[in-house]
Amino acid sequence: MQVFSVEKGIVIPLDRPNVDTDAIIPKQFLKSIQRSGFGPNLFDEWRYLDLGEPGQDCSHRPLNEKFELNQPRYQGGTILLARENFGCGSSREHAVWALDDFGIRVIIAPSFADIFFNNTSKNGILAIKLAENIVESLFTEVKAQPGYQLTVDLQAELITMPNGETIEFDIDPFKKHCLLNGLDDIGLTLQHTDEIQSYEQNRQKQSPWLFS
């Protein structure tokens, strides 16, 4: 998993509440269990004017020019600004994979669906909960200033705005540790490789018939 430290990037505003995981990555793309390759189909039904299918070349598909991800001012954005209850609906981890594959490193919203929220940190994305009035203010600024950027410092738990003002945010210490060190569930387990191998060796000596 990619290490998260500081992210400075263009903010993409997604100004709608209750964005569910089927909107983030539609059901027809769930056939693959690979974590990569979902970026072109992120928000597929909102992003394109035709029906998307797995394995399709998206480079020639007709775009919905009104959708935020397709607007020139937000190209290259790595910070997604959203409304309340982002990531609701089914628990598909593919939704987080699609956001990560697209290049989203931070999601800011007043609230998230619980399972989606937990999946973000396990895949290297920092999900930040801020008060609704702060999120509303950020939407106003992002829409008023093309190329609007934020700097998110995980270690300091600070968001720095273009004018130098800062916003504090809270994060669970365990999630913070995992993000700062690039540790997903597998990475956490592999930190105990020596203990696991020692246990297996002792177990084999104690109960050799289990390994025959």
pLDDT tens track for 62-99: 999 999 999 999 999 999 999 999 999 998 999 999 99
> Residue 127 pLDDT more than 70?
yes
Nearest to 125 by CA among 188, 173, 174, 80: 80
12 Rama sector, left if φ>0, alpha if ψ -120 to 50, beta otherwise: beta
- Burial of 144 (C-beta count, 10 Å sphere; 0-12/13-18/19+): exposed
Nearest to 177 by CA among 133, 139, 122: 122
Q: Please identify, in words, the CATH class of the domain defined by 6-181.
A: alpha beta
> Residue 186 pLDDT more than 90?
no
What is the average pLDDT across 150-160? 98
The mean pLDDT of the chain is 93
pTM (predicted TM-score): 0.89
| Cβ neighbours for 13, distance < 8 A, ≥ 6 positions apart | 68, 74, 81, 139, 142, 143
